[in-house]
């Protein structure tokens, strides 16, 4: 087809020469049979995958050495567009010579990069990036079949951007660690949404479980809530309301003091809190073994005062009632 045809001009230029060559003359298109596997001394694996978004489908054939798990040969059949054919052809090349576990680590990004003419220029336009995802998915199916496990056992992450294979966890971490505020920021840091763009918001060519706009909104909301909570936690004791002061004291008793007293069978109960002349007077009542203990009015009382004073940053006086 000439460059000035319907698929010509700028759109034609968006495809690498390697993609064009493999579209027209794929090296690995075909099938492998049991006879081929016997000849190569390996096990035949056949896996199928279809893309609901575009109707394309690919069948992958492997011959695997059962002793070493090395893929000795790979072929494919593709029912779809030229990009799917080129991606499947390159995927087959990348599999040969690798172990099954090594092949499982091949991503659609690896396939796309291998199809580039130059390292910095994408091999296909963004809207066709999803075609290389089929290559990734069919490898996973072949691995699962060879190992005799369910495909779900190999999927450990929720993928949001299928084109870039970017997980939900990666996106949330990027937002939190880098304080990202826009979808454009997410794309810059993770590449999610930088290809076919279906994962950015509802309405794209393929429906998603998660969208970047929703992940950003929910993560930012959680961050703000945590920030507010942290602000309350670090609020100066003197500026707190009485209720919050009591809660702050109770929190320290629970986390720092009660475990120590419980080790000897004792406990302490917060009864009241009063303030006078810059001193916070905390009234407590001993329980269990602390009741009547000789050190309850001396060492134990002093320890409680010290811990509360250090944690609250104010002068504390503890009164046993």
pLDDT tens digits for the chain (321 residues)? Answer: 333 333 444 566 789 999 999 999 999 999 999 999 999 999 999 999 876 555 678 999 999 999 999 999 999 998 878 888 999 999 999 999 999 999 988 877 788 889 999 988 888 887 677 677 778 788 989 999 999 988 766 666 788 987 777 889 878 988 887 788 999 999 887 778 988 888 999 987 778 899 999 999 999 999 988 877 665 555 688 888 888 888 889 999 998 888 888 888 889 999 999 988 889 999 999 888 888 787 777 888 888 999 999 888 899 999 988
Tell me what pLDDT residue 4 has: 37
Q: How far apart are CA 245 and CA 273, in angstroms?
A: 8
Q: What angle is formed at CA 12 by the lines to CA 11 and CA 17, rounded to 5 degrees? A: 135
Task: Outline which parts of the chain fall under CATH 3.30.300.130.
Answer: 237-320
Whole-number pLDDT of residue 94: 96
- Which residues have C-beta within 8 Å of that of residue 171, sequence separation ≥ 6? 160, 186, 190, 192, 212, 215
Per the residue annotation, which of 131, 163, 199, 290 is the catalytic one?
131
In 3D space, the residue among 24, 44, 20 whose CA is nearest the CA of residue 34 turns out to be: 44
3-state SS assignment for residue 31: coil
Q: Please state the φ and ψ torsions of residue 110, each to the nearest 5 degrees.
A: -60, -40
pLDDT of residue 1: 36
As its CATH architecture, domain 9-155 has: Alpha-Beta Complex (3.90)
Q: Which of 142, 50, 137 is nearest to 96 (CA)?
A: 142
β partners of residue 284: 270, 320
- pTM of the predicted protein model: 0.54
**Chain centre to alpha carbon of residue 47:** 27
Residues in the chain: 321
Q: What's residue 234's pLDDT?
A: 59
Q: Where in the chain is the domain with CATH 3.90.1010.10?
A: 9-155
Assigned token pair, 41: 């001394």
Residue 270, burial from CB neighbour count under 10 angstroms (0-12, 13-18, 19+): middle
- Residues with Cβ within 8 Å of 244's Cβ and at least 6 positions away in sequence, in order, are 232, 235
Residue ranges of the chain assigned to CATH 1.10.10.1100: 157-234
Identify the pLDDT of residue 3.
37
CATH topology of domain 237-320: GMP Synthetase; Chain A, domain 3 (3.30.300)
Concerning whether 54 is annotated as a catalytic residue, the answer is yes
* SS3 state at 269: strand
For the question of residue 81 being annotated catalytic, the response is no
Domain at 157-234, CATH class: mainly alpha
Question: What is the strand order of the sheet 315-320 is part of?
Answer: 266-276, 279-288, 315-320
What's the distance, Cα to Cα, between the start and end of the chain in Å? 95
Element (H, E) at 188: helix 183-190
Q: What integer pLDDT is reported at residue 235 of this predicted model?
A: 67
- Say what the pLDDT of residue 107 is: 79
């Amino acid at each position: 087809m000439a460059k000035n045809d319907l698929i010509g001009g700028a759109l034609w230029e968006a495809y690498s020469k390697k993609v064009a060559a493999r579209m027209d003359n794929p090296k690995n298109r075909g099938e492998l049979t049991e006879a081929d596997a016997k000849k190569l001394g390996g096990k035949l694996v056949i896996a199928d995958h279809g893309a609901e978004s575009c109707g394309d489908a690919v069948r992958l054939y492997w011959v695997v050495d059962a002793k070493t798990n090395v893929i000795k040969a790979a072929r494919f059949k593709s029912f779809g567009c030229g990009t799917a054919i080129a991606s499947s052809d390159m995927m087959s090349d990348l599999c040969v010579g690798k172990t099954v576990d090594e092949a499982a680590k091949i991503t659609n990004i690896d396939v796309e990069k291998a199809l580039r003419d130059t390292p910095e220029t994408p091999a296909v336009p963004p809207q066709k990036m999803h075609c290389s995802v089929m290559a990734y998915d069919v490898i996973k199916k072949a691995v699962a079949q060879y190992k005799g496990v369910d495909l779900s056992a190999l999927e450990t992450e929720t993928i949001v951007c299928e084109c870039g294979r970017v997980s939900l966890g990666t996106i949330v971490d990027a937002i939190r660690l880098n304080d990202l505020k826009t979808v454009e920021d997410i794309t810059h840091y993770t590449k999610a949404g930088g290809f076919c763009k279906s994962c950015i918001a509802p309405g794209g060519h393929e429906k998603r479980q998660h969208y970047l706009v929703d992940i950003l909104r929910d993560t930012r909301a959680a961050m703000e809530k945590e920030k507010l909570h942290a602000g309350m936690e670090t609020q100066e004791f003197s500026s707190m309301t009485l209720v919050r002061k009591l809660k702050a004291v109770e929190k320290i008793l629970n986390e720092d003091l009660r475990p120590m007293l419980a080790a000897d069978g004792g406990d302490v109960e917060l009864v009241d809190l009063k303030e006078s002349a810059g001193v916070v007077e905390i009234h407590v009542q001993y329980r269990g073994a602390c009741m009547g203990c000789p050190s309850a009015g001396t060492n134990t009382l002093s320890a409680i005062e010290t811990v509360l004073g250090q944690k609250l940053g104010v002068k504390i006086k503890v009164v046993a009632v």
